């Protein structure tokens, strides 16, 4: 029967004939799809994500986009059941058959419960199929717009929708519902909605796999809910192995609950575990075409893959498109940040694929490794090429790669980054027959960062070197010396590096890198001089580091490999920045970063040195925002043991920026984290520098006693305080109003000696010396010292020292400007940058929050005069420590940084 329907405006429409429960078919609508799913017990409610959804539904669109098993439905379930959304919630689980009017019928009847599709006449919006589709959407949008409050619609499993028109209809409703519709979509693939528009306007909330991944504490809670406890190390290993994948963790927890030794389970755990492999096969592989599944199996032998490499292993030419489609579909394939067009597979997914390849076609595994080795070698990635040649057990090709590319293998270490493939060792007879094969395995283990295994292979290779023919023996001696040097560098053995670098230099035909030598000899010199320079840098001998790195750069430019030039140039830029050669450092760092990038991972470490140099330069130029941006680029890319200068230097620069901004506690936390990363025995120079930086933070906070306490151990067994320590001590003494003690500990700073303290430290010492002279009443000497500091600072553009030197320095600069200076513009700019005039009409505070005690008021009166703390103590018959305690308390209560400021504020408060 065909009926006629009249809408609220008396417009008549002929209804589309349909079954009463399903406009598109005779299949009844399932109410179960409109209910919030019931999930199993033992799930973890993660408040951080619930709060993200709470914030998200304040805007029109929230999307949860992640692969299978990443907890999208579980999160939405927890959110709804926790009462997070205060608005009416409509839930619809989407299935493939929900196309056309059937989808809209589900949505229509779901909205019935909230009264959206019912007006005062209970039929203001006709069901889909009774009016043309565009009319239905318009009437539904109007109905949503008339609702008194927002309506939340959750569409779960939206990736199952096969109707391309549905996203267009949803986008229409979002645009025309007057902001009442709050759409939440959970999907495995990005929905075909114009997300960029809402992202640009700030109205889009996105939750992706990186947010849905379990944190380490959440992993521990999940296991505890299943009655599983793990040692801390095994817990961290499990979390890293699963990459926080919720479904994988849950399946693992269920399996471990029945296992007699959960820790042993973690040791043997892999993606080939039955329930995980079954899940990944059914939820990921089942939706892919046979060609794509074949490509995944072929490339499962790789740690990372790009389009060209996939083509080399599959014999096809669509690798780039295949990887892009896998990423789009969230098929456990993700781009490697900063390394486009490289991708990687989720670790468990890759293990499942490799196991499947071994089961189906074990004979294809060696050819796949050989093809990968050949492709890597042709693309200047010898480390990867060697690893796959060894995995293919192609000994001849592996030793050929070693002989041809050993300089790059030494310089371009990945240190285990992205390594999941560890080739099995060769049979003992093969390693003894060919010592170069043992050396190839040593090179691979060094690349992995496994120093113990590398040492074993190096010893094995050396013990059988007599088997080599004469034409290979000399080359073997050079290679083994270079890899011994690389091992010492990775171990952080500074003395060993210096000794082995000297040995390697002695093995080259000439120690002069500018002489006419072969590319291999030039590369050897570059390796040796770069290692020597890095060791001197970590040891604090900046002059020797500059000499060695300069020689290394000259050799690297002759040798040719990009990584050698980048490594030398970037470390040289850092040395120059630390020496205070700011303009040369800036030029060197920019030149290093402009070099063609090395295809290997070493470019990240080398670039980090250049970025750290730029950060130090911008810090001294008082461009703090730029300094912070460069610090972000320099941080977190190097092994703290192998490259301690990067870890310590970045922390010190960041702490300096935070100190200038007044965020003293945050600066202290940065230093604590750096010490933890560096381990128990960092180079002494870096330990001194970190401690002096901490002392400066404590002095800025007014805790000078602790500042001196942390510095005192650094003076043991030394005839003279290191410059860092001396300057930090002087600053603490000045904060305690003891200019005499400050003057006594300051290092020599006026002479321009190449082996003297860095220029930045000399300038700080000079400024402190000028302040001490002024406080002692020696105005002429203070002015002369200030002029000398300005002269030294001007040529390199130092500014931060003058703009953030504190009130005492500012007063000195004011006096110096009045007296006349050849650097009038520099002083004037510094004073303008530090000026902070009181707000118009502002009044001094009426009273203190915490009043001064009688004794503190007595000490305060003495602070008006010129007596030192010792003299005040003598006059009051108190110990000097007691007076200092009272002075610190006065500063704290008056929010003053020094004596003059305390007196000024006390007068404003009429305490004096």
Per residue in 791-838, pLDDT (tens digit) is 999 999 999 999 988 888 888 888 888 778 888 888 888 888 875 443
Question: Which uninterrupted H or E stretch holds 344?
Answer: strand 343-345
Q: Is residue 636's pLDDT more than 80?
A: no
For residue 207, the cross-strand partners are 64
CA-to-CA separations, 54 to 62, 292, 695, in angstroms, rounded: 10, 39, 43
Q: CA end-to-end span of the chain, whole Å?
A: 100
pLDDT of residue 839: 36
More confident residue, 91 or 517: 91
Domains 522-537+545-682 and 854-908 share a fold: no
Segment among 182-191, 410-419, 678-687 with least mean pLDDT: 410-419
**Secondary structure (DSSP) of 208-276:** EHHHHSPPHHHHHHHHHHTT----HHHHHHHHHHHTT-HHHHHHHHHHHHT-S-HHHHHHH--TTSHHH
pLDDT of residue 671: 93
Q: Is residue 115's pLDDT more than 50?
A: yes
Q: Locate tokens 């000499």: which residue?
A: 547
Structure token digits, residue 100: 């056309």
Structure token digits, residue 551: 């020689």
Structure token digits, residue 877: 């018959």
pLDDT of residue 844: 40
Region 700-718: mean pLDDT is: 85
Segment among 83-87, 516-520, 745-749, 878-882 with least mean pLDDT: 83-87
pLDDT of residue 838: 39
Sorted by sequence, the CB contacts under 8 Å of residue 298 that are 6+ apart come out as 310, 313, 314, 357, 364, 368
pLDDT of residue 610: 93
- Counting DSSP H helices and E strands in the chain, the numbers are 45, 9
Segment among 118-132, 327-341, 349-363, 483-497 with least mean pLDDT: 118-132
% of the chain surpassing 70 pLDDT: 91
Task: Please tell me the pTM assigned to this model.
Answer: 0.77
Fold for the domain defined by 16-212: Rossmann fold (3.40.50)
Question: Which uninterrupted H or E stretch holds 155?
Answer: strand 151-156
Region 508-513: mean pLDDT is: 60
Nearest Cα neighbor of 728 from 707, 709, 701, 713 is 707
CA-to-CA separations, 388 to 317, 397, 423, 505, 756, in angstroms, rounded: 22, 10, 8, 31, 50
Segment among 485-494, 624-633, 795-804, 898-907 with least mean pLDDT: 898-907
% of the chain surpassing 90 pLDDT: 50
Confidence label for 8 from pLDDT (cuts 50, 70 and 90):
very low
The CATH number, out of the four listed (1.25.40, 1.20.120, 1.10.1200, 1.20.1250), of the domain defined by the range 522-537+545-682? 1.25.40
Radius of gyration of the chain (CA): 35
Half-sphere exposure of 144 (CA within 13 A, CB side): 29
Region 88-104: mean pLDDT is: 90
More confident residue, 342 or 42: 342
Sorted by sequence, the CB contacts under 8 Å of residue 607 that are 6+ apart come out as 566, 570, 592, 593, 633, 637
Q: Is residue 501's pLDDT more than 60?
A: yes
Region 752-770: mean pLDDT is: 89
Domain boundaries, the chain: 16-212, 216-265, 522-537+545-682, 693-745, 748-754+765-832, 854-908
DSSP 19: B
pLDDT of residue 18: 38
Sorted by sequence, the CB contacts under 8 Å of residue 481 that are 6+ apart come out as 500, 503, 504, 507
Segment among 84-98, 218-232, 394-408, 531-545 with least mean pLDDT: 84-98
CA-to-CA separations, 757 to 379, 572, 672, 745, in angstroms, rounded: 45, 17, 25, 14
The top-level CATH class assigned to 854-908 is mainly alpha
Per residue in 469-479, pLDDT (tens digit) is 887 888 899 99
Other C-beta atoms lying within 10 Å of the C-beta of residue 512 = 13
Q: Distance (Å, rounded) from C-alpha 372 to C-alpha 357? A: 16
Q: Distance (Å, rounded) from C-alpha 14 to C-alpha 4? A: 5
Q: Is residue 169's pLDDT more than 50?
A: yes
Q: Is residue 99's pLDDT more than 80?
A: yes
């Amino acid at each position: 029967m065909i009926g006629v329907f009249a809408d609220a405006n008396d417009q008549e429409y002929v209804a589309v004939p349909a079954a009463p429960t399903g406009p598109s078919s005779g299949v009844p609508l399932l109410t179960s799809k409109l209910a919030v799913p019931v999930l199993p017990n033992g799930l973890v409610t993660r408040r951080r994500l619930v709060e993200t959804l709470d914030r998200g539904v304040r805007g029109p669109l929230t999307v949860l986009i992640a692969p299978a098993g990443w907890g999208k439905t579980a999160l939405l379930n927890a959110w709804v059941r926790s009462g997070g959304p205060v608005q009416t919630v409509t839930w619809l689980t989407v299935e493939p058959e929900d196309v056309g009017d059937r989808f809209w019928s589900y949505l229509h009847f779901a909205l019935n419960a909230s009264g959206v599709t019912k007006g005062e006449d209970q039929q203001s919006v006709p069901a889909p199929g009774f009016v043309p589709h565009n009319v239905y959407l318009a009437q539904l949008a109007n109905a949503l717009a008339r609702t008194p409050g927002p309506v939340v619609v959750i569409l779960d499993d939206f990736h199952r929708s096969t109707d391309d028109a549905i996203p267009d209809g949803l986008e229409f409703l979002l645009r025309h519902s007057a902001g009442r519709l709050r759409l939440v979509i959970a999907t495995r693939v990005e929905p075909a909605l114009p997300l960029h528009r809402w992202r640009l306007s700030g109205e889009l909330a996105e939750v992706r796999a990186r947010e849905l991944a379990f944190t380490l504490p959440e992993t521990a809670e999940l296991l505890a809910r299943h009655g599983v406890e793990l040692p801390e190390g095994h817990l961290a290993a499990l979390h890293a192995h699963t990459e926080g994948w919720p479904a994988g963790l849950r399946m693992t927890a269920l399996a471990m609950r029945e296992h007699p030794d959960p820790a042993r389970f973690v040791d043997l755990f892999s993606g080939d575990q039955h329930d995980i492999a079954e899940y990944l096969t059914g939820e990921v592989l089942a939706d892919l075409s046979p060609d794509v599944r074949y490509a995944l199996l072929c490339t499962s032998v790789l740690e990372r893959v790009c389009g060209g490499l996939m083509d080399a292993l599959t014999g096809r030419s669509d690798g780039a498109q295949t990887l892009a489609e896998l990423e789009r579909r969230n098929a456990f394939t993700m781009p490697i940040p900063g390394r486009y067009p490289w991708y990687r597979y989720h670790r468990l997914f890759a293990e499942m694929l490799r196991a499947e390849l071994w089961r189906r076609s074990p004979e294809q595994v060696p050819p796949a490794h050989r093809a990968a080795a050949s492709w890597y070698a042709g693309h200047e990635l010898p480390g990867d090429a060697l690893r796959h040649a060894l995995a293919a057990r192609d000994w001849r090709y592996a030793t050929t790669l070693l002989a041809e590319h050993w300089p790059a293998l030494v310089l371009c270490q990945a240190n285990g980054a992205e390594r999941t493939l560890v080739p099995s060792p060769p049979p003992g007879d093969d390693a003894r027959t060919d010592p170069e094969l043992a050396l190839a395995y040593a090179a691979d283990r060094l690349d992995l960062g496994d120093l113990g295994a590398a040492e074993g292979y190096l010893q094995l290779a050396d013990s059988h070197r007599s088997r080599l023919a004469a034409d290979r023996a000399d080359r073997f001696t050079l290679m083994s010396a270079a890899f011994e040097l690389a091992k010492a560098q990775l171990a952080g053995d500074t003395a060993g590096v210096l000794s082995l670098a000297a040995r390697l230099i002695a093995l080259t035909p000439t120690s002069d890198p500018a002489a006419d030598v072969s590319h291999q000899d030039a590369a050897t010199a570059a390796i040796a001089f770069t290692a020597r320079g890095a060791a001197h840098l970590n040891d604090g001998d900046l002059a020797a580091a500059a000499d060695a790195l300069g020689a290394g750069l000259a050799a690297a430019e002759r040798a040719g490999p990009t990584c050698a030039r980048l490594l030398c140039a970037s470390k040289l830029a850092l040395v120059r920045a630390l020496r205070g050669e700011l303009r040369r450092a800036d030029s060197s760092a920019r030149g290093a970063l402009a070099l063609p990038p090395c295809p290997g991972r070493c470019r990240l470490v080398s670039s980090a040195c250049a970025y750290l140099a730029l950060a130090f330069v911008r810090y001294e130029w008082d461009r703090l925002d730029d300094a912070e941006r460069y610090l972000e680029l320099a941080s977190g890319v190097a092994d703290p043991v192998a490259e301690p200068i990067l870890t310590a230097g970045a922390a010190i620069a960041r702490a300096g920026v935070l100190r200038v901004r007044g965020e003293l506690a945050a600066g202290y936390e940065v230093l604590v984290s750096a010490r933890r990363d560096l381990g128990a025995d960092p180079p002494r120079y870096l330990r001194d520098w970190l401690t002096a930086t901490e002392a400066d933070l404590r002095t800025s906070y007014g805790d000078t006693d602790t500042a001196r306490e942390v510095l005192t151990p650094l003076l043991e067994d030394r005839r003279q305080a290191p410059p860092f320590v001396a300057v930090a001590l002087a600053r603490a003494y000045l904060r305690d109003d003891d200019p005499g003690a400050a003057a006594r500990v300051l290092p020599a700073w006026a002479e321009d000696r190449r082996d003297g303290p860095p220029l930045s430290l000399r300038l700080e010492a000079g400024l402190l010396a000028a302040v001490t002279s002024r406080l002692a009443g020696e105005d002429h000497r203070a002015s002369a010292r200030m002029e000398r500091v300005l002269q030294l600072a001007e040529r390199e553009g130092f500014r931060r020292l003058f703009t953030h030197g504190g009130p005492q320095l500012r007063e000195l600069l004011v006096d110096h400007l009045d007296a006349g200076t050849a650097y009038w513009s520099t002083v004037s700019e510094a004073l303008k940058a530090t000026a902070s005039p009181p707000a118009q009409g502002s009044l001094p505070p009426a009273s203190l929050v915490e009043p001064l005690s009688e004794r503190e008021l007595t000490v305060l009166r003495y602070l008006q005069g010129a007596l030192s703390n010792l003299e005040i103590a003598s006059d009051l018959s108190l110990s000097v420590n007691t007076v200092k305690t009272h002075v610190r308390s006065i500063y704290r209560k008056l929010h003053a940084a020094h004596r003059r400021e305390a007196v000024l504020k006390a007068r404003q408060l009429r305490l004096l």
